[in-house]
Structures are given as C-alpha cells and as structure tokens.
Amino acid sequence: DKYIKVISGKAKRKPRWEECVKSVTSSLPFAIGSAYVSNYFKEHAKHTADDIFVYIRAQFQRILQNVDWMDEETRKKALVKLNTINPKIGYMPDLLNQNKLDDFHKE
C-alpha cells in the first residue's frame, strides 16, 4: 500500500475490477460503446430526443424572428448560428457499423 501511495499519490488502490473496466474501456472505446448501444440503447429514445430538438429549434427560431428588442443584423447572425447547430444525440451511426469498428480496432 505504501508503494501505491508513493506511485499514484492515493492512499488506497481501486478495486481490481474497476481497473480492468477502465483499461478495457480506454483500449476499446468504440467496441464497448457498440456493445452498450446494441444491448441497452432504445432506438425510440433517440427518435424522441431528435423530435424534441427539432421542436426546440423551431420554437427558438420563431422567438428570434419575433422579438422586438433585437436589431436585424443581430437577428440574422442569431438565426445563422441557430441553424448551424449540429445536434449529437444518442450515438455515432458508425458505432453499429461492424466493418468500421473492425477497421478502427485493426490498428
């Protein structure tokens, strides 16, 4: 335990299973992500979140178009910014593409 404290600066070592999970997750992040998504992720949850984002964007756009305290130049910039938002909801589509996963983990 003294050795661990000197090397890591921590009084106690993490349980072995935590170290193993961290090691595998950092070594194979996409494989672990793919397995998680395949087993636990509900596709309807992603669609629901996508729908919510579309609704929020539309409402915000309506608000920006109708506020009277914003000058036209600022309004245009805000609308451009709003329309450049690229939502990252759920997971990367490539996470379920076995060929891409194989290619990534070849290296």
- Is 0.75 topped by the overall pTM? no
Burial string for 61-99 (b: 16+ CB within 10 Å, else e) reads eeebeeeeeeeeeeeeebeeeeeeeeeeebeeeebeeee
Residue 101 φ then ψ, to 5°: -65, -45
According to the model, what pLDDT value does residue 1 have?
A: 65
Q: How far apart are CA 105 and CA 107, in angstroms?
A: 5
Residue 92 φ then ψ, to 5°: -70, 135
Please write the tens of the pLDDT for every residue from 11-69: 777 888 998 999 998 988 888 989 999 999 898 999 999 999 999 999 999 999 999 99
pLDDT band, very low/low/confident/very high, at 6 (cuts 50, 70, 90): confident
Two tokens, residue 2: 């003294």
Has residue 95 got a pLDDT over 90?
Answer: no
> Tokens 């509900």 appear where?
42
Q: How far apart are CA 31 and CA 38, in angstroms?
A: 10
Considering only residues 105 and 65, tell me which one the structure prediction assigns the higher pLDDT: 65
The CB density around residue 34, as the number of other CB atoms within 10 Å, is: 20
